[in-house]
A and B are shown apart, each in its own frame.
Chain A
Amino acid sequence: MLNYIMRRLGLFISTAFILTLIAYALHYWLNQSHSQPIINGYITYMIQILKGNWGISIIDHQPILAKGLKSLASTLELSIFAFIGALTLAIPLGIIAGIYRNGQIDYLIMSTAIIALALPVFWVAIMMPTVSNIFHLTLPIDGQISPIYEVKNVTGFMLIDSLFTTGTYHFEAFYSRVRHLILPSIVLSLFIFAETIRLTRHSISMVMKSNYINAAYSKGLSTVQILRSHVFKNIYPSIIHDLRSNLSTLFSFAMTVDIVFKSKGSGQWLLTSIHEGDYIVLPTAILIIGGFILLSSILIDILLMLTSPTKRITLYVD
């Protein structure tokens, strides 16, 4: 087990190294004046990165690292919200579809999933205000939080920071943040929803075909009992693993959504910086976003290995 964790950490370090190489290549290309040879340049660049000097934005002369992390936090809040919403709905639906495979319900659920997957994210995002109008929902349609609240930056996560302001605003600021998250997370959750239904259905129908489920039936267990005691433990590793490999696609969509909703996330940060000609954000974004996705993938891998006996089988082989 320890061996596995060490190897994952090794993978993390080597992949992170390649990421810094890519970032440096971009940095090198963007800086037209090359005073140093490439290798020395890389070393100086890395020293600056490790010291925390990631450069200063030419737009507002703020340190880029702080801005990047803050926007990442905003996108993360959005993604986590969308994840929670989508998973609570999609996993039960996926299970139903998997059990009644090729039945009427299955077709209905799968059609919903395909429709959700086929809706272009940015278009849904711009249609969302109209839709919420139709249902007479008065939800904020852009921004991160209502500008009347002054929230000090403590953790970078607006949702948590707004809880620190309960002294002045009670929970008003927090509610405002939550209300701002609702529409964008609905848009983003469409993709996760569709993907999760597909994955859950697939793994359920694979597991339901297996011999040990047949054996469980011949023990005289009911379908609900079988689901509870045999199916869940066998499907969650593959679902989580596949969702993990979709993280970067998901992040693309999250960036699109926060551009449309102007919610001060990574997407908006990148887009405004590029439009202003502040290209120095690109290597920074590679390091921050790429590094974040890499780190979370490896953590998920290790967690899965710790919790799932089926995953652990592979350890014996090596």
Chain B
Amino acid sequence: MPLLDIRNLSIDINTSQGKLRIVDKASLAINEGSIHAFIGESGSGKSLIAKVILGIHEDNWIVTADRMYLGTTDLTLLSKSERRKIMGNEISMIFQHPKSYLDPTKKIYYQVKEALTNTSIIERLMHTKKYNKKSATRQRIKELFHRVGIQNDVTIMSSYPHELSEGICQKIMIAMAIGNNPRILIADEPTTAMDAETQAQIFRLLYKLNQLHKMTILLMSNNFASIRDISDHITLIYSGQTVESGTYKQITKNPLHPYTQAMIKTIVAFDEGVEHKSLLYTLPGNLPSSSEIPIGCRLGPRCPIAQKKCVEDPEQVNYKGHLIRCHFIKLEQSKYANTPKYK
């Protein structure tokens, strides 16, 4: 049973020109202890889904979902304040542009301390003899900082956010996020606008957290190549529709949706001898603007194999946990040729 299970989540936004369906029946199932990559171009609705999971969406969004479970709790039934209680302890999130998520007027120490609402009981018992709350918190923050690879903890703790780099800020955000041992960590494009080395550091850090502490991570990115190899499961979203979802092997070795196939084709593998200055593969066209979303399958106008039927919304089909949302899955090419299909 997946830890986070979302079925047919739709988000409509009320604008003055009428209702606009931004996310259309997106499904997401995250298994405990895995890194789940959630890949889509910018503007495809990844962040919106993350905000809805956390319950920090705007009031003019209409959210409908068939199922939205975290473990055994139904998130749709919770009120905003109950949702907020869950957030700190069970779901944590890190964002893009981490600096803007740190209060510019407070020192890092107080901000991290705030995230660590409840000191664990064992820790308190260990310090019963000479329990000094302040030094205990400091110690805990120090440990956290070392876990995320911040060495000079004393200086950082007494700094203001504007004195630090984006990379350090992201590490602090991760430290705050894992401080309460959440069941799931949502990372929303955590490395946007960072240099390659910092990006690699952050991804390595997330990978280590998953390997050593069995942290479940939902990793959102627009870069298929950079996060593909650290993830166990991959879901692709296009313009608010989840198009394909499956394990790392299923997606990379046997992509069935034309969008996934295109995404894999766009990854340049330099060791395979790409001709110098040759044209790189891209899908023709652009992501449709939110006011001109095509009906039916939203990939339709850009899809290399589109047919008349594509103006209808395709049903999602399931082959052994490999979910595809397309009318024309070329089964004869795949190893599922003889497997029955489930709905």
Contacts and interface: CB of A to CB of B under 8 A. Distances in A.
Q: When A and B assemble into the complex, do they touch directly, with CB atoms less than 8 Å apart?
A: yes
Interface string A209-235: 011101111111110000001100110
B54 interface: yes
A1 to B, nearest CB: 14
Interface in B107-139: 110, 114-115, 117
Given A218-B93, A219-B87, A219-B88, A210 B100 contact: yes
B73 to A, nearest CB: 15
B117 A220 contact: yes
A164 B37 CA distance: 76
B114 A313 contact: no
How big is chain A's contact interface, by range? Answer: 20 to 34
A308 B105 contact: yes
A310 B84 CA distance: 28
B105 A220 contact: no
Interface string A268-295: 0000000000000000000000000000
Tell me whether chain A's interface is mostly helix, strand or loop, or mixed: helix
Contacts, number: 68
A222 B57 CA distance: 16
A310 B176 contact: no
Given A211-B95, A214-B56, A229-B114, A220 B88 contact: yes
A222 B173 CA distance: 19
Contact of B104 (A214, A218, A219, A313): A313
A229 B100 contact: no
Interface string B278-295: 000000000000000000
Contacts of B56: 214, 217-218
A212 B103 contact: yes
Given A212-B102, A215-B102, 13 more contacts: A211-B97, A212-B100, A212-B103, A217-B56, A218-B54, A218-B88, A220-B84, A222-B81, A229-B106, A230-B106, A234-B104, A308-B105, A309-B105
- Return the 9 tightest CB-CB contacts between A and B, nearest first: A220-B88, A233-B105, A215-B101, A211-B100, A212-B103, A211-B101, A313-B162, A219-B115, A309-B160
